[in-house]
Structures are given as C-alpha cells and as structure tokens.
Structure 1
Amino acid sequence: MPDPCHLLIPGAVLPPGPDGVASLAPELPELPALRQLLRVLAPGERIALDEDSPAMPHEVAVARAMGLPGAPGHTPWAALETRTAGQPCAWIKACHWQMGMDHLVMAGPGALTLDTAASDTLLAAMQPYFAEDGIALRASAMPGAWLAVGEPLRRLRCVSIDRVAGRDVKPWITGPQADRSPAALLLQRLHSEMQMLFYTLPLNDERMRQGLLPVNAFWVVGAGALDALPPARPGFKVERRLYAAAAEPAARAQAWRAVDADSCAWLLAQSRQGAPVRLTLCGERAAQSFDTPPAAGWWQRLKTRISPQRNTDLLHTL
C-alpha cells in the first residue's frame, strides 16, 4: 500500500465569516478545494497539545509523518535539515529579548535583520565560549542561525521558537517548565555568558544607533541525533504560506485563497484520481488529519453527501 499524498498546513486558521468568526459556512464562496476535501475525507488522527508543550502541533505532526524519533521537544530537526547522521547537533538562533522586572519576552523571528557580515561577527565572538563546553559552532546559509555540534546536544530538550515568539520565555528558563538536565543547565550558563558578551559588542552599539534591535540572547532548537536519515517521502508536502501571513487577517485570507487554489487543489486532484490522500490542518492547540475513508456502502456515501459540513466543526478547535 503506497503512502498517501499528504498535505500538512500549519497556521490553518480559516478566514473570518460575516460575523467575524472563523467559519466555512455554506454561503462563503472562498476555498472551494478545501470545502470539497472536507466533504469527501473522514476525520483521522488528532494531535492535541497543552500550552506547556515544548513543540507546536504542526511540528509533532510533521515529525510523525516523516518517521522522526523523539517526543515533543526532542525531534532532531537540525540533524534532518543538514542531513547529518550519527552526530548530535542543534540550531543556535540569535534573538532579542525584551527584558522586564519579571519577564523576558521573545521578539518574533523577523524582528532581527542580520546580514551575513553581522552573523559572522557574532559567530566569531561566540565560538570560544561554546567550544569550552564541547560544542562547535559553524556558519550556515541563514544569517543569525548557526549549526552547533557536540555531545551535550544529544538529549537536550528544546522549546520551539513558534511556541515562545512574542511571549514570556522565563517560565521555560527558570520557571516550572524549565529543563533541569545537566545539558540544559550548561546551556543556561552559556545564556548568561552570551548576554554579557552581547552587551559589550560594538556590533550591537552600531545596531542601536541605526534604530535596530540588539542581539541580546540566543535560542536552541532542533537538538538531537539521527542514527540514520529517514527515507524521502515525495508525496508529503508542508504548506507554510499561512504561517508567514498569520499576523495580518487580510494577508492570511489572501494566503488561504492561494493555498486553496494550488496545494488543496493538488490534493483534491489526487483524490479524484483514486489515490489515498491525507489532509492535516494545524493550529495553536491541535493538528487534525482527514483521510480517504475505506470503501463505503451506499448509506455512508449518502450521509457524506447530505452532511457536507460534518468535518468543519473540528476546525474550530485547532
């Protein structure tokens, strides 16, 4: 049995209906491909996470779809993305924390505008400190993100940037949700050292003169090791455009229409050609999959046709 064609959509918040509430009401003309998919597919696996989960629902769903090991917070994304097998690694990402008396708010991923030269300056300053603890920092193609390689990263729990962006990170560092493992305590000490280092860097002085946010912290994501690289899954597609437009309702609605016109239409075409398909819609709290149902009798087919909105109620719980 071949793997189903699988479309996974993070940030799957539906555009608002006439009353301002997210809906897929019959009178709305938008998203015809999505509407049709929800008519013909049956509810499948649901992943529901608490707010204190270190991973987001879409990350857990992607990890399961790709056959990656690890509980939430322990998925070796860096090893997967760099095609590294047998060696613990992680991403170290520059960030800005707004510091208050009792909170540390993480600025969003787009808050820092770092070019390659600035990223290399930060890397050169940070490398000796990480090396003392057995972690090698290497440049990457993404300014402000560096590949870290070293044994302390093998079992380190990581909290998704999507989980903490725009929110208080203090509970994850020193509060009840903090990891107390030796590796986490090592990284916590490095956090303190890097904060002092960043404060003295001429690069940050220049950034503030230009009205840019200084780099005053880092975040670790995707730590772990892969014994072997997972096989390719050519029929699996992650549609990320909705996440990029999440902050602006009009942009989000426009992105939804574009996603419906191509990605959802692609999956619908596969379904109409008789291929097994899976659609996974992901929000802040849950990821809900919809699958090609097993061969059904006339009564089940009739119920599907007379109840076209049977799946939409599940979307309002994402």
Structure 2
Amino acid sequence: MPHHLLIPFAAASAPECQALLPGLKLPKLQALLALLSEQPADRGDDHQLSPPHERALAQVLGLPVADGQIPWAAAQSEAPTVPQAWFSLCHYQVGMEQVTLLPGAQLALDDAESRALFEAFEPLCAEDGLTLRWDSATEWHVSGEPLRGLACASLDRVSGRMVDAWLAESPANPTGARLLKRLQSEAQMLFYTHPAHDARTARGLLPVNGFWVHGAGALDASLALAEAPAMPDTLRQAALRSDWTAWTAAWLVLDAAEIASLLAAVQRGEPVTLTLCGERHARTWTTAPTGAFARIGRSIKQLFGTTPIADTLKDL
C-alpha cells in the first residue's frame, strides 16, 4: 500500500481562515506538491450534506458515496444490511433568530449522565421501531427500518452552525424524516425535564438538550473495507471550534511532521498519496510517473514555478 495522508479541513470557508492563507508558510508541503501529480478532484460546494473529507475517506475504504447517505454506522456493524445511524448528543443554543448546535465533544459529558439520558430516551425510540444502543457518552447507535433511505447532514457540517439549513429532508423516506424530527422534539422536552439538566446547570455546564442524527444508511451486503489512510485530526478540531490561531499552529506542526515524512518517502522513491480537503473540494496528488513524458511535464512545471500554497488551499 502506498503511504496515504488524508487531511480534513486543510482549509475552511470561514473568512477568518481564508484571510490567513496568504501568510501561511508550509515549505514541506510546497516541496511535496512539486514532486506529485494531481488526480481528478472531487468538487462540490459548501451546502452538500457530506463534507469532502468524509466523501474522500469513503471512497478510499470502498463504501458507496451519496450525499448525506454514506453508511458509516452500518459499515461498522455485524448486520450492515440493516439501516443504521448515530445519534450524537448536543446542545442547541437558541438565539434571537437562530439555533446553533454545539457537539457533545464540547460539553464535558460523562458516562453516568449520558447513560441516564439514554435510559430515559430509549423507550421512545423503541415505540417507533428503532433500536437504540449506548456506544459512548456522546454517541448512541440506532438501527431500524424507519432510517432506510434517509439523507442526513454530517455532524461536521452543522457543528457550531445554524441548524435550520441542515435538518433531514429525505424525498426517498419523508415518513422517516418526520419521525426523526418528532424524536428530536421529544428528546428536547425529555432532556429539559431530566435531573441531569439541572445538575449540569448547577455546575455551570451547558445542558444536553437534543441530538443530531448522522451517518445513516445500509449496505447491500457485507464489505471488506480497504485500509484507511492516515487522517490527522488537529486541523479539523481547531476549525470546528473556529480557533484559527490553533488551526494555523496545527498546520505548521503537520508540515514539519507528517508532510515532511511523506516528502522523505517520495525522495526515497516510495509511492505516496496526499489528499487535501476543504469544505467544498477534495484534491488528491499521487507519486509522479517516471516515464519520459512525465519528466518533461515536471521540467515544464519547474520552469513556470509551482502554484503558491495559498492558491492551492483557497481551491478547497
């Protein structure tokens, strides 16, 4: 297997991030891209339910890719033909004219609180033909036929953003979409009256007041997934927090570590692949061919100079 590094949120669409790109110095990345050949890009837009890094990862693993219907939960199941998804606990922050989602990873939620909420909510799911399973403090697994054909926005799409534009609308299963919206409303009321709400508020913590459904889908049959690429998470974590100082620092560390390692592999003659993902596109570069025409192409590329890193990242 060639070395494959897949980097989520190598750039973000936020104006604050775009303003930083011209001053971002990534010499190892610049040198690496000069030695690689770009492949056809996966181009999209900011409004797709599945972000570029999830589409790119699914393609590498061999999963079917449809917008909002990458079967992440089913792919990790022993019964992958059953429709499945994840319910991720969150805090809906209500403003004057908008509702913003804060993911469970930012809520310091412990197992005991999560299990208490789970035990209260699980019977409501069962009444609607859904089987709920506790997986972690912030993420529960759900399965059942009402989920079949649903298209759901990735949690990475909605984290820290207004939720209205991302609510599930599935022409293939409008009944299931309505069921989920009702369950989200019921969860909001149930969690508000649950003792965990007042306990967290008393400790100065944001209460859990809902969940987000994502990763929905089913497979036609069991799949043997391909080997996953290396996928550093530091840029993603900083971008989802809108911490652009941390995002810039993370890029500098990546350039000096993982990117430098990939560059060294190329210089040793080893095959490598690099995929950079923004919020619209995923662009992939692989080890350059060694034939005569390829050498001529690289010579021409070197003559005219390589594309500035800021321009490359802007086109993500």
Say if 1:117 and 1:170 are closer, same or farther in 2 by CA, change over 3 A.
same
Give the alignment partner of residue 184 of structure 1, picking from 177, 187, 209: 177
Which of 227, 234, 246 is the equivalent residue of 1:233? 227
Task: Determine which structure has the larger helix proportion and give its number.
Answer: 2
Written as runs of structure 1 = structure 2, the 5 A alignment for 1:1-318 is: 4-13=2-11, 21-23=20-22, 28=25, 31-82=26-77, 84-100=79-95, 102-140=97-135, 142-173=136-167, 178-180=169-171, 181-226=174-219, 227-233=221-227, 236-246=229-239, 247-294=242-289, 295-297=291-293, 298-310=295-307, 312=309, 313-318=311-316
1:311, distance to aligned residue in structure 2 (A): 6.4
Measure the CA separation in 2 of the matches of 1:136 and 1:20: 46
The one-letter amino acid paired with 1:290 is W
Q: Counterpart amino acid of 2:137?
A: P
| Partner SS, residue 125 of structure 1 | helix
What's the CA shift for 1:308?
Answer: 4.1
Amino acid at match of 2:10: A
Closer/same/farther in 2, CA of residues 160 and 231 from structure 1, 3 Å limit:
closer
- For 1:22, give the aligned amino acid: L
Shift of 1:117: 0.1
Identity among equivalent positions (%) equals 42
User: Relative to structure 1, is the Cα distance of residues 196 and 134 closer, same or farther in structure 2, using a 3 angstrom cutoff?
Assistant: same
SS in 2 for 1:285: coil
Give how far 1:74 is off: 0.3
1:293 CA displacement = 2.9
8 Å contact kept, 1:38–1:308:
no
Report the TM-score, using the length of structure 2 for normalisation: 0.87
Tell whether the 8 Å contact from 1:279 to 1:291 is kept in structure 2 after alignment. yes
Q: Is the 8 A contact 1:134 1:152 kept in 2?
A: yes
Q: Secondary structure at the match of 2:22?
A: coil
User: Displacement, 1:290?
Assistant: 1.5
How far the C-alpha of 1:149 sits from its partner, in A, is 1.7
| Per-residue deviation, 1:206 | 1.2
Report the Cα distance in structure 1 between the residues aligned to 2:251 and 2:215, rounded to whole angstroms: 28
Determine the C-alpha separation between the residues in 2 that align with 1:311 and 1:58.
Answer: 22
C-alpha separation in 1, matches of 2:298 and 2:138:
53
The structural deviation recorded for 1:199 is 1.7
> More deviation in 274-283 or 294-303?
294-303
Q: Residue 108 of structure 1: CA displacement?
A: 4.2
| 1:101 CA displacement | 5.5
Q: Where do 5+ consecutive residues of structure 2 fail to align?
A: 13-17
**Residues 1:83 and 1:238: Cα distance change in structure 2 (over 3 Å):** farther
Range 248-257 or range 197-206, more displaced: 248-257
The amino acid across from 1:273 in the alignment is: R
